[in-house]
Structure 1
């Protein structure tokens, strides 16, 4: 099998670059990066050597490789493996860690591997969703991205996340609702909603969930579905048109979300 490696920028997270490779013959010689790497192997096994240790990276493992850390990478055995990587430039890394920790001090970062099957699966899913591009929800991607980075950096003890106990005010929540209703057919980002409240994205995520009891994305999906119900009860129109009017990128996505919420397809409502 011919080795394949692809790189892709992510519009929802400016500066972030994804890489994905299916490798059997290619070997990463000893090298380093100027950016921060979060790496996962979704299939097969890769052996890496760094900081005097040799580790096996397979499904369920997350490897964190800061700038300047010298390491290598090669397939273990004769089978191919699939490597997925998030590549964060230093500027984006500092922005994210300051948002999470509330401190402008650069974190002390070292190469390490975390064994966590659930979180690794979430990161693989996020990588795939970001790779899907236009069909993905910016709000969902950005929210999941920050939440997973909080976990990864906390587990590696690179940062200590802020303890946020405050909630959104009724006025802030009302402004969020008004904005979402006015832009229901459009893509809505975490950055937009946080800016309405005058908060950073991490603070907004925490405060919204503490106030409402749902993530912003879950709440917005429900809002779209509730408006869809109202539209389905009005003048006859196609389900595809209703899906677009409430912000679903295609009818199949709308059908799945509707059935999951109400137990029936939109055509049966």
Structure 2
């Protein structure tokens, strides 16, 4: 039997509640042995990512934690708050440029979702929604595509080792880079280089 514990700070849950409700204090129901397949799936994904050493995992986990907060508020709140009515707007072109430029300039760094949201003065939750509306991609997905595209160009330089390419594009280990590259491109970085 495997057990996972996730501790959420009050401020994180409250920030999520502010985005979907009317400013009410979130109040969760105390439950034991309650079946919630969606919540368990999110927790399993978080558990899988915790063991990963690559830089993108941190960004992925941040988004999963926000999803977890939303599910808790939706299915385990004493007084569920309905989603706010009205259309949600995406980021402006200027905001998209600011965020994407930051990601490109720091592509080798461990970029946190909170850093990106702070660039445009939004909460993590609202930033993710607004970024997806504006670009059609999640911040994690956009960053991964940029890293893989940059890696493809670097792999053309045969003087660079694949482990060096992995570090330059933001992966802490060659194996994490290879897995991400294979998922995006369909072949390993070694095979991609061989076919050039």
- Which TM-score tier does this pair reach, normalised by the shorter chain? 0.7 to 0.9
- In 2, distance between residues paired with 1:256 and 1:134? 12
Which runs of 5 or more structure 1 residues have no equivalent in the other structure?
1-42, 44-81
Query: Match of 1:226, SS?
Result: helix
Contact 2:4 2:47 in 1 (8 A): yes
Which runs of 5 or more structure 2 residues have no equivalent in the other structure?
none
Structure with the higher strand share, 1 or 2: 1
Q: TM-score, normalised by structure 1?
A: 0.62
Structure with bigger RCO (C-alpha 8 Å, 6+ apart): 2
Deviates further, 190-199 or 243-252: 190-199
Size of the aligned set, in residue pairs, is: 187
After TM superposition, give the deviation of residue 144 of structure 1 in Å: 1.3
1:29-72 Cα deviation digits (max 9, x unpaired): xxxxxxxxxxxxxx3xxxxxxxxxxxxxxxxxxxxxxxxxxxxx
After TM superposition, give the deviation of residue 259 of structure 1 in Å: 1.2
CA RMSD of aligned residues (A): 2.3
Aligned to 2:60: 140
- In 2, distance between residues paired with 1:198 and 1:108? 26
Question: What does residue range 1-269 of structure 1 map to in structure 2 within 5 Å?
Answer: 43=1, 82-98=2-18, 100-101=19-20, 103-112=22-31, 114-130=34-50, 132=51, 135=54, 137-157=57-77, 158-163=80-85, 165-234=88-157, 236-269=159-192
C-alpha distance 170-263 of structure 1, shift in aligned 2 (>3 A): same
After TM superposition, give the deviation of residue 133 of structure 1 in Å: 7.6
Structure 1 runs (4+) greater than 6 angstroms displaced: none
